[in-house]
């Protein structure tokens, strides 16, 4: 055969480093629209505030000032004060800590357990699949809030327990999604090719099936983070969430309800922050899905 007759690709000529190119393409696609830029910026700001709360918050979140209760937003207290004279802005910043940490940790727990169960169900099939999926169905039949209340009562209040509780409650979604992915990936030719190439079942699953199931889970996780934060807010609102005096946005709304007539901002402002955070996670989740999807599809 004639050497030198190497067939070159018509696209991708003179590209130095393909992985760099891919990364650049991904970033461009992800930040394509305005809402994502805003959402991502919001998340960065809130995360920064949460992490560096002691440095950023103007006051101690627990410092009561009974002379200055129910103040409207003003120069001294940017967002006003609550019924005990505590600075609302500082409480919001510390509340961000609670919300974000609960959101992230519970999502990790939910994802970790859920994905594992989904993998087992999808890969082993038959009995294991049926049992696991029926249990997931049963869990999903008990409404999230109710199950969370239940588990909360069992585990008790406290940040760690809340995270565990919400994590367990949100787990079935990941299990279902992963199982579905495994089932569809399992029969693709490249998995068969791995087997023909002599890979052991475990190696084939780890190398070919697992990575291709993880991507949609990442998208699900980003969207579910928002949901986890909402659940925590709901629990706190009902008084079943994080212990006071640690501020939680949901609890702050509940506290503020009593003073709705006199000082509506106490109830309304924390809610706005919930909306901003959850919205930002959702928008980034959508963008993540759009950025990862068509890339996998290539062209003929």
Partner 1 sequence: MEHLIEVKNLTTEFQQQKGILKAADGVSYYLDSGEIVAFVGESGSGKSVTQYSGVQLIPCPPGKIAGGEVIFEGKNLLEYKQNGPELQEVRGGKIGIVFQEPMTSLNPVMTIGNQLTESIILHLKLSKSDAKKRAAELLGQVGIPDPETRLDEYPHEFSGGMRQRIVIAMAMSCNPKLLIADEATTALDVTTQAQILNLMQDIVKKTNTAMVMVTHNLSIVARYADRVYVMYAGEIVESGTTEEIFKTPHHPYTIGLMNAVPGLNDPKDRKLIPIHGYVKNLVNRKNECQFMDRCPYATSECKNAEDPGLRAVEGEENHYVACHREIGKNTKVERVFDVSDREYRPFDYAGKTDNDKILKVSDLKVYFPVYKGVLKKKTADVKAVDGLTFDIYKGETFGLVGESGCGKSTAARAILRLNDITGGKVIFEGEDISRLNEVEMRPVRKNMSMIFQDPFSSLDPRQRAGDIVMEPMTNFPGTMTKAQMEKRVDELFELVGLDPSYKDRVPHEFSGGQRQRLVIARSLSTNPDFIVCDEAISALDVSIQAQIINLLEELQDKLQLTYLFIAHDLSVVRHISDRVAVMYLGQMVELADWNELYSHPQHPYTKSLLEAVPIPDPDLEKTKQRQIIKGEVPSPIHRPLGCAFSTRCPYATEECRTMAPALKTMQNGHKVACHRI
Partner 2 sequence: MARYILKRLGQSLIVIFIVTIMVFVLMHSLPGDPVKIFLGDSATPEQVEYYTKEFGLDQPLYVQYFSWINGLLHGELGRSITYKLDVKNLMLQRLACTVSITLPAFIIALVIGVIFGVITSVNRGKPKDYVLTSIANVGIATPSFWVGILLVYVFSLKLAILPVQGYVSPTESLTGYLKCLVLPVIVLSLGHLASTTRQTRSSMLEVVSQDYIRTARSKGLSEKTVIYKHALRNALIPIVTMMGGAIGGLIGGTVVIESLFNIPGIGSLMLTAITNKDYMVVQNVTFFISLAVVIANLVVDILYGVIDPRIRVE
Contact by Cβ (8 Å): 102, 163: yes
73/87 Cα distance (integer angstroms): 10
Residue 63, token pair as written in the block: 């410092």
What sign does the dihedral 36-37-42-48 (CA atoms) show? Answer: positive
174/136 Cα distance (integer angstroms): 10
For residue 55, state whether it binds partner 1 (rule: CB under 8 A): no
**Candidate segments 4-12, 96-104, 262-270, 274-282, binder of partner 1 by CB under 8 A:** 4-12
Contact by Cβ (8 Å): 57, 86: no
Site string for partner 1, 186-225 (x = CB under 8 A): --xxx-xxxxxxxxxx-x---xx--xx-------------
238/257 Cα distance (integer angstroms): 12
Query: Which C-beta is closer to partner 2: that of 191 or that of 219?
Result: 219
Q: Measured from the CB of residue 191, what is the shortest distance to partner 1 in angstroms?
A: 8
For residue 18, state whether it binds partner 1 (rule: CB under 8 A): yes
DSSP 253-297: HHHHHTTTTT-THHHHHHHHHHHHHHHHHHHHHHHHHHHHTGGGG
Query: Which C-beta is closer to partner 1: that of 12 or that of 261?
Result: 12
For residue 134, state whether it binds partner 1 (rule: CB under 8 A): no
Query: Which C-beta is closer to partner 1: that of 204 or that of 236?
Result: 204
Strand, helix or coil for residue 248: coil
User: Largest Cα–Cα distance of the chain, in whole Å?
Assistant: 93
Q: Measured from the CB of residue 260, what is the shortest distance to partner 2 in angstroms?
A: 6
**Candidate segments 20-28, 99-107, 180-188, 259-267, binder of partner 2 by CB under 8 A:** 259-267
Binding stretches for partner 1 (CB under 8 A)? 1-2, 5-12, 17-19, 22, 188-190, 192-201, 203, 207-208, 211-212, 295-300
Binding stretches for partner 2 (CB under 8 A)? 35, 134-135, 137-146, 149-151, 153-154, 156, 226, 230, 233-234, 237-240, 250, 253-254, 256-257, 260-261, 264, 267-268, 271, 274-279, 282-283
């Amino acid at each position: 055969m004639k050497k030198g007759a190497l067939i070159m690709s018509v696209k991708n000529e003179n590209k130095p480093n393909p992985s760099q190119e891919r990364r650049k393409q991904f970033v461009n696609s992800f930040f394509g629209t305005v809402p994502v830029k805003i959402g991502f910026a919001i998340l960065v700001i809130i995360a920064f505030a949460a992490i560096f709360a002691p440095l950023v918050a103007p006051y101690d979140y627990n410092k009561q000032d009974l002379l200055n209760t129910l103040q409207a937003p003003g120069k001294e207290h940017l967002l006003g004060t609550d019924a005990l004279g505590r600075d609302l802005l500082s409480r919001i910043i510390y509340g961000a800590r609670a919300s974000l940490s609960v959101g992230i940790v519970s999502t990790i727990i939910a994802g970790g357990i859920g994905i594992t169960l989904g993998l087992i169900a999808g890969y082993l099939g038959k009995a294991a699949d049926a049992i696991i999926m029926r249990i997931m169905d049963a869990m999903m039949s008990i409404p999230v809030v109710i199950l969370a209340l239940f588990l909360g009562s069992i585990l008790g209040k406290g940040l760690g327990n809340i995270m565990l509780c919400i994590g367990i409650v949100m787990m079935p979604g990941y299990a279902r999604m992963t199982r579905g992915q495994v089932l569809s990936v399992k029969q693709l030719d490249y998995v068969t090719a791995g087997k023909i190439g002599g890979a052991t079942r475990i190696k084939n699953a780890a190398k070919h099936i697992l990575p291709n199931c993880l991507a949609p889970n990442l998208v699900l996780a980003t969207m579910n983070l928002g949901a986890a934060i909402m659940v925590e807010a709901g629990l706190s609102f009902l008084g079943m969430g994080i212990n006071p005096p640690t501020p939680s946005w949901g609890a702050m709304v509940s506290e503020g309800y009593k003073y709705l007539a006199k000082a509506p901002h106490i109830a309304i402002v924390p809610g706005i922050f919930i909306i901003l955070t959850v919205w930002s996670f959702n928008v980034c989740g959508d963008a993540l899905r759009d950025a990862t999807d068509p890339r996998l599809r290539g062209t003929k």
